């Protein structure tokens, strides 16, 4: 399931077996069980993806956050017509628990149910920025970080510097750091005691994240995050 969540496209049995270092027959047996329980689904070409059961479980993790955020995220998506995600931190990863896609032909697809390395996403960085240096070093004991896209930050020292900037700005951005051709803006969501509850992102093809358009998206994301925070 983690291999499928990390993949950018549907996977074959052979690809899954290689990813998790087991024989193809074992992978087939595991997938049959997961498919029966709707944790994975198989398309007409015989390739696998995460199933509806994972989406339901991911959504349940958000609890009242997801319920409160939904109408506000719907309004945000309608206003800017770009893909909006709701995300929570899970160790050194982020888990996407809700999404509203843009209506445009060229758009960022929903990532609901997927885990991505926190350091490679705007929402991940904004959530990491709320942690102490000790907590961050526990999450990232190695100086080198995994690269997932052309511009992923691969140095812990550089990440820590970026997080200091995120704390000052109150938002984070990503430019082809989690996926080629994709950029995003991330803003933290807190409750009334200022405890971090999650984050929201606006994701779009980098061709639309222009210097002229970006400030509008940042402001829209910050306003929506503030409205959600008021109700938590």
- 62-230: same fold as 2-50? no
Burial zone of 215 (CB within 10 Å; 0-12 exposed, 13-18 middle, 19+ buried): exposed
Q: What pLDDT score was predicted for residue 62?
A: 58
Q: How remote is the C-alpha of 117 from its chain's centroid?
A: 8
Q: Where are the domains of the chain?
A: 2-50, 62-230
Q: What pLDDT score was predicted for residue 59?
A: 59
The SS3 call for residue 48 is strand
Which pTM value belongs to this model? 0.77
- The residue ranges of the chain whose pLDDT is under 70 are 8, 55-63
**Cα gap 163→216, rounded to integer Å:** 22
Q: What pLDDT score was predicted for residue 115?
A: 85
**Cα gap 232→226, rounded to integer Å:** 10
- Residue 200 and residue 77 in contact, taking contact as beta carbons nearer than 8 Å: no
CA nearest neighbour of 88 among 134, 128, 146: 128
Condensed to tens digits (0 to 9), the pLDDT of residues 81-103 reads: 999 999 999 889 998 988 999 99
Q: What pLDDT score was predicted for residue 58?
A: 62
Was domain 62-230 assigned CATH 3.30.450.40?
Answer: yes
Was domain 2-50 assigned CATH 1.10.10.10?
Answer: yes
Question: Which residues, 6 or more positions from 153, have their beta carbon under 8 angstroms from its beta carbon?
Answer: 119, 120, 145, 159, 162, 177
3-state secondary structure 127-185: HHCCCCHHHHHHHCCCCECCCCCCCCCCEHHHHHHHHHHHHHHCCEEEECCCCCCEEEE
CA nearest neighbour of 172 among 189, 185, 183: 185
- Residue 85 and residue 200 in contact, taking contact as beta carbons nearer than 8 Å: yes
Condensed to tens digits (0 to 9), the pLDDT of residues 34-71 reads: 999 888 999 888 999 888 777 666 656 556 888 899 99
């Amino acid at each position: 399931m983690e291999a499928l969540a990390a993949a950018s496209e549907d996977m074959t049995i052979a690809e899954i077996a290689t990813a998790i270092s087991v024989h193809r027959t074992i992978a087939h047996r595991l997938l049959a069980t997961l498919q029966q329980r709707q944790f994975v689904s198989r398309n007409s070409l015989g390739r696998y993806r995460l199933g509806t059961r994972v989406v339901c479980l991911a959504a349940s993790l958000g609890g009242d956050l997801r319920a409160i955020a939904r109408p506000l995220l719907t309004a945000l998506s309608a206003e800017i017509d770009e893909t909006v995600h709701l995300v929570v931190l899970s160790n050194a990863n982020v888990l996407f628990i809700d999404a509203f896609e843009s209506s445009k032909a060229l758009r960022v697809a929903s990532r609901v149910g997927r885990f991505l390395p926190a350091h490679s996403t705007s929402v991940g960085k904004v959530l990491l920025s709320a942690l102490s240096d000790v907590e961050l070093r526990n999450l990232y004991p190695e100086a080198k970080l995994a690269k997932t896209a052309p511009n992923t930050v691969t140095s812990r020292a550089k990440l820590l510097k970026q997080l200091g900037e995120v704390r000052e700005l109150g938002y984070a951005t990503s430019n082809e750091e989690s996926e080629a051709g994709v950029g995003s803006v991330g803003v933290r969501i807190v409750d009334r005691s200022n405890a971090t509850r999650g984050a929201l992102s606006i994701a779009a093809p980098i061709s639309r994240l222009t210097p002229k358009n970006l400030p509008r998206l940042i402001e829209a994301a910050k306003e929506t995050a503030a409205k959600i925070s008021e109700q938590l």
